[in-house]
Structure 1
Amino acid sequence: MTAPYNINQNPHKGNRGLTRAWHAAKNSWCGIVYAFEEESAFRQELVLLILLTPVALFLPVSPIEKCVLIVSLIMVLVVELLNSSVEAAIDRISFDHHDLSKRAKDFGSAAVMLALFVAVLLWLTICAPLVIHWQ
């Protein structure tokens, strides 16, 4: 037995299987392109990922540590995308100053700052022993 039709169901969510996955992938790519075109912080963090990924790959550390270093940079981009989505939703509602809008944007900004802090902490923790041994 199937569930009764829901009149509040999103009409854009009708795709199933590979069609749904294909549309999701296209939408995801569009999100990355928009972020690259519109968000300077995203571009800066992407440059960090592009520059530091080869560094992580060539460091004399374990494969899991290499993975942790790269994933920490990817997570900064993920949090930046979420922050940008909050900002876009708030701006769609209104450009007027409102305390709740400011709070939502500040929360997103704080999340990005914490993600950057985690990435820096991981890079320092994994790389510091290498620097100490070079001396």
Structure 2
Amino acid sequence: MIEEAIIELLLTIPGVTGIVGQRIYPNIIKEGTQLPAMYVAANRMSKMNCDNPMGIKTGVVEIGVHGAEYWHCSDTIMEMRKVLDDYAGKVSNVGLTFNSGEEVADGWDDDLDTHVKIIEYEGYAIAKSTN
């Protein structure tokens, strides 16, 4: 649910979709996927350990960009950061709050034969009632 909300938000950023189109996936980019493409992984988000009747989750969201050219990755991250850094808002029925993203070392994926750039966001998410 968190991944889907973040993907929905990313799809509203013209600078991102201008590079990766609609190719933004939950968790992984499968071999054979047209590049450039992105993934969003929120599997490091978990329910807060305090009195938390609202079900607030906290943790790290990882967003990765794979591209045949390095600029695909760097420009997509730059465009994404304009919106996600210090973001607070509601997407569909999920409230999201992020701090400024932290980029990790650039990489290369041998299986996909592509550049990889990853950014991590610490944040909070809560599924809001649609009632």
Structure number with larger C-alpha Rg:
1
TM-score, normalised on structure 2? 0.25
Q: Which has the higher helix share?
A: 1
More strand by share: 2
TM-score (norm 1): 0.24
